[in-house]
């Protein structure tokens, strides 16, 4: 593990308090320095009990005698947790002594567990110069609302020749979690996908054809908007009935399905698969990075098996890593790959799967793989090269 917020993170495993019971106790204890009396320590992570990555939702309690902050939960056996600590904002995240932002801490719940962490430094103690500012021209559309959903912004990246070649029209890629893909200043974790630099490089080297990229910002309802259910259905209609028509009438797009794609990571990968599958008359391509396709909470594999092969041709890009939460997602991805073959889709032609067994579940990992669907969808080569 990254000397994660240095010093020590000891997982002290005790004998199960509930023998034979899959509900296991996880206690987080934090000793933190450089705090004022007004400060509070928060935990944030990939689970609803950890606030679904909201930096100021789940507070720890302070023992005034020991000065130890603590909180405890119960999780099902086998749950994989990724988490960090903050003082309520991402600008006050716990960091390493040199000021660097650590990778997520990871815990697989297998026994009753106490995790002890010492925090010596916080992000707001350091001056940061964010690198990787936006490359190219972007336009913004603000406060897009639809049918009871919370409003959100759009960021639209235009290809390098957009202003020079006034007669040209372009394919469009609609990306979810749009604030995380172009600009580190708006990214939830201070690290963006650098999809602008990747697209610019691939286009300038003539590896792929020019395209427009639309980033659709998420909201704090992301967990429901990006998953099967009533809210997910409304979100898909937002994309299809409001956002796509807005983009098509504002920019020089190729609006037909052949030139329309969608993409995202984690639950953003899930909703990308859903959009392609349920709106094949609109989308012909989906890039699904580390998608949740079949987990304890949801199951889209059964929907695909039940529906069978779509009446229109599609291209599906799937990938995943191998560390932390990626381990939990792997069975669902494996089953989806099997089902796609069973219903008549061809590997490396209709769908393409790539795995980086060393990759975790975060923007830094997806940034390294984002070029692959570009090549699969719009490249001069047939499929991205395998490592």
Closest CA to 194 of 171, 170, 215: 215
Residue 296 is predicted with a pLDDT of 80
Task: Decide if 9-125 and 137-378 have a common fold.
Answer: no
Residue 279 is predicted with a pLDDT of 98
Class (C level, CATH) for 9-125: mainly beta
Compute the C-alpha angle 369/374/376, nearest 5°: 100
Residue 46 is predicted with a pLDDT of 86
Spatial contact of 43 and 96, defined as CB atoms under 8 Å apart = no
Residue 298 is predicted with a pLDDT of 92
CA-CA distance, 147 to 122, in Å (whole number)? 40
Residue 381 is predicted with a pLDDT of 62
Question: If the chain, 387 residues long, is cut into consecutive pieces of 10 residues, what is the mean pLDDT of each piece?
Answer: 37 37 90 90 93 92 93 93 92 86 87 94 75 82 94 96 95 96 82 92 95 95 94 98 98 98 97 98 98 92 97 97 91 98 97 96 93 94 56
Q: What is the CATH number of domain 137-378?
A: 3.40.50.1820
What is the SS3 string spanning 20-75?
A: CCCEEEEEEEEEECCCCCCCCCEEEECCHHHCCCCCCCEECEECCCCCEEEEEEEE
Residue 384 is predicted with a pLDDT of 63
Residue 192 is predicted with a pLDDT of 87
Residue 16 is predicted with a pLDDT of 37
Residue 114 is predicted with a pLDDT of 96
Is the pTM higher than 0.75? The answer reads yes
What does the domain layout of the chain look like in residue ranges? 9-125, 137-378
Q: Number of H helices and number of E strands within the chain?
A: 9, 19
Closest CA to 340 of 359, 315, 360, 320: 315
Residue 5 is predicted with a pLDDT of 39
The pair of three-digit structure tokens given for residue 46, joined into one six-digit string: 């990939």
């Amino acid at each position: 593990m990254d000397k994660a917020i240095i010093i020590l993170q000891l997982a002290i495993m005790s004998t199960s308090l509930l023998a034979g019971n899959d509900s296991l106790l996880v206690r987080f204890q934090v000793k933190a320095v450089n705090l004022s009396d007004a400060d509070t320590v928060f935990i944030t992570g990939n689970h609803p009990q950890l606030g679904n990555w909201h930096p100021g939702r789940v507070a720890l309690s302070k023992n005034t005698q020991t000065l130890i902050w603590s909180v405890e939960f119960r999780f099902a056996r086998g749950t994989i947790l990724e988490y960090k600590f903050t003082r309520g904002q991402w600008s006050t995240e716990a960091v390493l002594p040199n000021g660097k932002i650590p990778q997520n801490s990871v815990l697989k719940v297998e026994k009753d567990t106490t995790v002890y962490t010492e925090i010596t430094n916080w992000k707001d103690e350091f001056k940061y110069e964010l690198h990787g500012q936006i490359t190219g021209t972007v336009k913004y559309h603000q406060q897009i609302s639809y049918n009871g959903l919370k409003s959100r912004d759009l960021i639209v990246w235009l290809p390098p020749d957009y202003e020079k070649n006034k007669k040209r029209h372009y394919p469009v890629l609609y990306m979810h979690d749009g604030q995380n893909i172009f600009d580190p200043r708006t990214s939830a974790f201070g690290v963006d996908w650098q999809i602008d630099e990747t697209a610019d490089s691939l286009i300038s080297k003539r590896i792929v054809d020019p395209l427009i990229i639309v980033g659709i910002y998420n909201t704090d309802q992301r967990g429901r908007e990006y998953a099967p259910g009533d809210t997910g259905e409304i979100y898909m209609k937002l994309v299809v009935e409001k956002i796509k028509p807005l983009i098509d009438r504002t920019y020089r797009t190729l609006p037909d399905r052949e030139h329309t794609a969608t993409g995202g990571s984690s639950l953003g990968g899930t909703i990308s698969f859903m959009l392609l599958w349920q709106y094949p008359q609109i989308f012909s391509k989906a890039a699904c990075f580390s998608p949740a396709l079949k987990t304890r909470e949801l199951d889209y594999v059964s929907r695909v098996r039940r529906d069978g092969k779509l009446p229109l041709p599609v291209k599906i890009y799937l990938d995943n890593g191998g560390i932390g939460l990626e381990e939990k997602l792997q069975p669902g991805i494996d089953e989806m790959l099997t089902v796609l073959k069973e219903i008549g889709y061809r590997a490396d032609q209709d769908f393409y799967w790539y795995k980086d067994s060393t990759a975790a579940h975060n923007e830094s990992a997806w940034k390294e793989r984002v070029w692959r669907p570009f090549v699969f969808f719009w490249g001069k080569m047939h499929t991205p090269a395998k490592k």
